[in-house]
Structure 1
Amino acid sequence: MLGLWGEHARLFLLVIAATTTLVFALPIFLAPLHWARRFGWRIPADTDLAIYFGRCLGAFILIVECLMLRAGLTGVGLQFTFEVLALVGVLMVAVHVRGAVQGIQPISETLEIGMYSGLLLLTLLFWPH
């Protein structure tokens, strides 16, 4: 299973980078509270910390986007980028499972368990040779 579609690893990165940049990275980085409302989060009265953490998260997502874009366009750091994506998949599944078990997140976040599990599976299937 590992690398079954590895010859298409660079194209996979470009597709994932474009999609996640538009759906997650830029919205969270530029307007974290607007993004949070759209995903069903309750917004506290004091929003400074939420905005700060949202922008920080968005910045880190953009770093991963840059890694994917570079590896997808040039092949540089291809193996490392897939290692990072695998870690993102594993850790984000853990984060969302914990939130679901604790009952502290909207259903949209619980559904992301499936999304991140799927991303992890696709990362493994497209793993470069």
Structure 2
Amino acid sequence: MKMTSAMAAAAVGAVLVAGPVPDASAQRYWNKKVRCEQSDPEGRVIPTRYGNGDLGWNHFSGKHNIRKCRVVDATLAGKVDKQGGGRLEYYGVARNGARFVNVVVIVQYARRTTDGEYDAGKGKEIGVVTAYCRGVNKCPDWINQ
């Protein structure tokens, strides 16, 4: 009798799985440590977590050039401008003399992101997902002065 690969695997106690082996954790890695925290007028305490390249401080500080907590905190100090479930959008304006730029801060005020990839843990919120200047790829450098 010719030994097949399945028979060989069984002989050494291995288990064969059809298709890719799923990751033990369905959630992606991200740094949950809080970089900044701000309360909005409705009493929500909103963290800005370090995150990773996809969400949080590590995402927007590089990609969108917002490198000061005060830019995010000042925007969150205003009212919610748009709400859909746990997704909150806050709009603000950053000024420097005659220069100004509109700032948008997007918050996931829920334990998990809507796609289920990130979980802040029991009793905690994801917090700030991203922040950016509307209408430009990167915020101007003066916003961080």
TM-score range, shorter chain: under 0.3
TM-score, normalization by structure 1? 0.24
Larger radius of gyration: 2
TM-score, normalization by structure 2? 0.22
Q: Which of the two has greater strand per residue?
A: 2
Q: Which of the two has greater helix per residue?
A: 1
Question: Which structure's relative contact order is higher, taking Cα pairs within 8 Å and 6+ residues apart?
Answer: 1
